[in-house]
Chain A
Amino acid sequence: MLGLEKSDFRLLLLVIVLTLFAPFLLNPFPVDSTMAQFNAGYPDLMQRFVIFGIFAIGFNILFGLTGYLSFGHAAFLGAGSYAAIWMMKLLTMNVIPAIVLSIVVAGLFSLAVGFVSLRRSGIYFSILTLAFAQMSYSLAYSVLTPITGGETGLQPKIDDPRILDSVLAVGQQARANLFGLDMSTSHDLIVGGWAFTFNAGYYVAALLMVISFYISIRIFRSPFGLMLRAIKSNQNRLGYTGVSARPYTLAAFVISGMYAGLAGGLMVAMDTQAGAERMFWTASGEVVLMTILGGAGTLIGPVLGAGMIKYMENIVSKINSTVLEGWFAWMPEIIQDVVVAVVYPFVGKGWHLTLGLVFMLVVIFLPGGLMEGFRRISDRFFGGSRKTDNSTGGTTAPTAAE
Chain B
Amino acid sequence: MSERNDITRRRVMKSGAAAAAAAASTPYFFTRAFADGHGYLNAPKGDTVTLGFNVPQSGPYADEGADELRAYELAVEHLNGGGDGGMMSTFSSKALKGNGILGKKVAYVTGDTQTKSDAARASARSMIEKDGAVMITGGSSSGVAVAVQALCQEAGIIFMAGLTHSNDTTGKDKKANGFRHFFNSYMSGAALAPVLAKAYGKERKAYHLTADYNWGYTTEQAVKESTEAMGWETVAAVKTPLTQTDFSSYIAPVLQSGADTLVLNHYGGNMVNSLTNAVQFGLRDKQVNGKDFQIIVPLYSRLMAKGAGANVKGIFGSTNWHWSLQDEGSKAFVKSFGTKYGFPPSQAAHTCYVQTMLYADAAERAGTFNPCGIVEALEGFEFDGMGNGKTLYRAEDHQCFKDVLVVKGKENPTSEFDLLEVVEVTPVDQVTYAPDHPQMAGGNLGTCNSGA
Direct contact of A and B (CB under 8 A): yes
Which A residues fall within an 8 A CB radius of B?
27, 31-32, 39, 42-45, 48, 138, 141-143, 145, 150-153, 155, 157-159, 170-171, 173-175, 180, 182, 184-193, 195, 197, 199, 267, 271-273, 275, 277-278, 313-314, 317-318, 320, 322, 348-349, 351-352
| Contact status B241-A142, CB under 8 Å | yes
| Contact status A185-B12, CB under 8 Å | no
**Seed contacts A190-B29, A278-B118; 10 additional CB < 8 Å A-B pairs:** A32-B13, A43-B6, A43-B129, A151-B142, A152-B146, A182-B1, A184-B6, A275-B116, A320-B110, A322-B108
Nearest first, the 9 A-B pairs at minimum CB distance are A349-B57, A195-B9, A44-B125, A142-B212, A151-B213, A152-B146, A155-B150, A185-B4, A191-B27
Could you give 18 example pairs across A and B, Cβ below 8 Å? A31-B10, A39-B9, A141-B242, A151-B141, A151-B142, A151-B166, A152-B214, A153-B143, A155-B150, A184-B5, A188-B31, A189-B30, A197-B7, A273-B151, A275-B117, A278-B118, A318-B109, A351-B112
Q: Is B153 an interface residue (CB 8 A)?
A: yes
Q: B108, B129, B213, B243 — which one has the most chain A CB atoms within 10 A of its CB? A: B129
How distant is the Cα of A186 from the Cα of B125 in the complex, in angstroms?
14
| Contact status B6-A186, CB under 8 Å | yes
- In chain B, positions 103-151 with a C-beta closer than 8 Å to chain A are 108-112, 116-119, 121-123, 125-126, 129-130, 141-143, 146-147, 150-151
| Contact status B122-A314, CB under 8 Å | yes
Please name the residue on chain B nearest to A319 by beta carbon: B110
Query: Could you mark each residue 11-52 of chain B with 1 if its beta carbon is under 8 Å from any beta carbon of chain A, else 0?
Result: 011001000100011011111000000000000000000000
Q: B142, B147, B217 — which one has the most chain A CB atoms within 10 A of its CB? A: B147
How distant is the Cα of A159 from the Cα of B446 in the complex, in angstroms?
9
Given contacts A175-B154, A187-B29, A191-B27, contact A48 B122 (CB under 8 A): yes
| Contact status A155-B9, CB under 8 Å | no
| Contact status B25-A191, CB under 8 Å | yes
Which residues of A are found within 8 Å of B12, using beta-carbon distances? 31, 188, 190, 195
| Contact status A173-B153, CB under 8 Å | yes
| Contact status A272-B154, CB under 8 Å | yes
How distant is the Cα of A193 from the Cα of B20 in the complex, in angstroms?
8
Query: Could you mark each residue 186-212 of chain B with 1 if its beta carbon is under 8 Å from any beta carbon of chain A, else 0?
Result: 000000000000000000000000001
Q: Is B248 an interface residue (CB 8 A)?
A: no
Given contacts A277-B117, A314-B122, contact A173 B449 (CB under 8 A): yes
Please name the residue on chain A nearest to B447 by beta carbon: A171
| Contact status A143-B212, CB under 8 Å | yes
Q: A48, A157, A182, A267 — which one has the most chain B CB atoms within 10 A of its CB? A: A157
How distant is the Cα of A155 from the Cα of B174 in the complex, in angstroms?
12
Other-chain contact of B242, A142, A159, A317, A349 (Cβ < 8 Å): A142
| Contact status A138-B112, CB under 8 Å | no
Which residues of B are found within 8 Å of A44, using beta-carbon distances? 122, 125-126, 129
- Nearest-neighbour CB distance to chain A for B201, whole angstroms, equals 34
Which residues of A are found within 8 Å of B126, using beta-carbon distances? 42, 44-45, 314, 318
Given contacts A145-B213, A145-B214, A153-B147, contact A188 B29 (CB under 8 A): yes
Given contacts A182-B1, A188-B7, contact A318 B118 (CB under 8 A): no
| Contact status B116-A318, CB under 8 Å | no
Q: Is B173 an interface residue (CB 8 A)?
A: yes
Which residues of B are found within 8 Å of A143, using beta-carbon distances? 212
| Contact status B147-A152, CB under 8 Å | yes
| Contact status B9-A42, CB under 8 Å | yes
- Nearest-neighbour CB distance to chain A for B273, whole angstroms, equals 17
Q: Is B361 an interface residue (CB 8 A)?
A: no
Which residues of A are found within 8 Å of B58, using beta-carbon distances? 317, 349, 351-352
Given contacts A189-B29, A190-B20, A348-B57, contact A152 B449 (CB under 8 A): no
Which residues of B are found within 8 Å of A174, using beta-carbon distances? 154
Other-chain contact of A190, B4, B13, B154, B217 (Cβ < 8 Å): B13
Q: A142, A184, A348 — which one has the most chain B CB atoms within 10 A of its CB? A: A142
Please name the residue on chain A nearest to B449 by beta carbon: A173
Other-chain contact of B121, A187, A271, A320 (Cβ < 8 Å): A271
| Contact status A153-B212, CB under 8 Å | no
Which residues of A are found within 8 Å of B118, using beta-carbon distances? 267, 273, 275, 277-278
Other-chain contact of A188, B30, B62, B108, B130 (Cβ < 8 Å): B30
Q: Is B324 an interface residue (CB 8 A)?
A: no
- Nearest-neighbour CB distance to chain A for B444, whole angstroms, equals 5
Which residues of A are found within 8 Å of B57, using beta-carbon distances? 317, 348-349
How distant is the Cα of A351 from the Cα of B130 in the complex, in angstroms?
19
| Contact status A39-B130, CB under 8 Å | yes
Q: Is B300 an interface residue (CB 8 A)?
A: no
- Nearest-neighbour CB distance to chain B for A200, whole angstroms, equals 8
Which residues of B are found within 8 Å of A158, using beta-carbon distances? 444, 446
Given contacts A159-B444, A192-B25, contact A185 B3 (CB under 8 A): yes
Which residues of B are found within 8 Å of A193, using beta-carbon distances? 13
Which residues of B are found within 8 Å of A314, using beta-carbon distances? 122-123, 126
Which residues of B are found within 8 Å of A141, using beta-carbon distances? 212-213, 242
Q: Is B168 an interface residue (CB 8 A)?
A: yes
How distant is the Cα of A183 from the Cα of B117 in the complex, in angstroms?
20
How distant is the Cα of A271 from the Cα of B152 in the complex, in angstroms?
11
Which residues of A are found within 8 Å of B4, using beta-carbon distances? 175, 182, 184-186
| Contact status B16-A190, CB under 8 Å | yes
- Nearest-neighbour CB distance to chain A for B359, whole angstroms, equals 20
Q: Is B66 an interface residue (CB 8 A)?
A: yes
| Contact status A188-B9, CB under 8 Å | yes
Which residues of A are found within 8 Å of B8, using beta-carbon distances? 42
How distant is the Cα of A272 from the Cα of B146 in the complex, in angstroms?
13
Other-chain contact of B116, A39, A152, A187, A277 (Cβ < 8 Å): A277
How distant is the Cα of A322 from the Cα of B9 in the complex, in angstroms?
21
| Contact status B20-A192, CB under 8 Å | yes
| Contact status B122-A138, CB under 8 Å | no
